Structure formats: structure tokens, C-alpha cells
């Protein structure tokens, strides 16, 4: 679980995106930030990832199996946008060894929920979910 101060930082990041770009669509936000987003064939059950090139510029990749489901693509894009905005000070390439991996994944999932409030559950405050419960809940939206 994240502490209240960190949660507020994540929430503010999502609110700033909406306020500045006047949209909750992460694909439009990535486009306006000039962050490339490619839909490619990814193996091993990978939904998406962000790669930082040698210049420190992010590039988002989303698994092509979701190309026909816009909501799934948006959720994955929002998750990756969360990594870019919240974790840009550190290496976010998921293929490298990183002890903060699960914590960063949880924060990116919180960002998804704040940027896309329409997917928030009506029956329970998502902030009471454990990291695993939140991940399962978000995955339930991805086809």
C-alpha cells in the first residue's frame, strides 16, 4: 500500500493530465506529449511496456492482441503513462533487474484508476485494495 502523501501525488499527476490536456484518454495525452506508442506483437503474456531510449525519451509498446479493444489499449496506455510521469527519475525499463518493480507497478495501477475514474468499482473504494487485488481488478477490464 502507498502512504497518503504518495497517493495524493499520484492523484495530482492524473488530475494535472486531465486539467492540462482536457481529456482522460491516455492515448491522446501520450500523443500531445509527443511520446510514441506502438502496437506490436509481444510474447510471454506481456500487455505492454515503456522503453527509455539512450536519450531518456520514453516509447510505449502495447501488445497487438488488444488492437481491436480500445478500452484495453487505453488502460494499458494509462498504466504506461503512469510509469512515465511517476517514475521518470529512475530507470523504468522492465526488462532490467529492479527491486522496486512491484511497488512501481502498484503506483502505475493507482494512476490508471485516477486517470480513468469510469472503471473504478462502485461496490468498494479501490484504495482499500491490496496491490494484488487492484492488479486483478484492472486485468478484469482488459479483454
Percent of the chain predicted with pLDDT > 70: 91
pTM equals: 0.91
Mean pLDDT of 38-61: 92
Contacts of residue 105, defined as CB under 8 A and 6 or more positions apart, other chains included, come to 131, 135
Phi first, then psi: give them for residue 92, nearest 5 degrees. Answer: -110, 10
Which cell numbers in the block locate residue 87? 517514475
- Residues with Cβ < 8 Å from 12, sequence gap 6 or more? none
Amino acid at each position: 500500500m502507498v502512504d497518503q502523501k504518495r497517493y495524493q501525488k499520484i492523484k495530482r499527476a492524473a488530475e494535472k493530465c486531465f486539467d492540462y490536456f482536457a481529456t482522460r484518454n491516455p492515448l491522446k495525452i501520450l500523443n500531445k506529449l509527443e511520446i510514441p506508442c506502438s502496437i506490436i506483437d509481444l510474447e510471454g503474456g506481456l500487455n505492454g511496456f515503456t522503453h527509455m531510449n539512450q536519450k531518456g525519451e520514453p516509447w510505449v509498446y502495447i501488445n497487438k492482441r488488444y488492437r481491436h479493444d480500445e478500452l484495453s489499449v487505453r488502460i494499458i496506455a494509462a498504466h504506461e503513462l503512469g510509469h512515465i510521469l511517476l517514475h521518470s527519475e529512475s530507470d523504468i525499463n522492465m526488462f532490467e533487474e529492479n527491486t522496486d518493480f512491484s511497488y512501481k507497478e502498484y503506483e502505475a495501477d493507482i494512476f490508471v484508476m485516477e486517470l480513468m475514474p469510469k472503471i473504478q468499482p462502485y461496490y468498494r473504494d479501490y484504495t482499500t485494495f491490496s496491490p494484488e487485488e487492484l492488479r486483478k481488478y484492472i486485468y478484469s477490464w482488459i479483454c
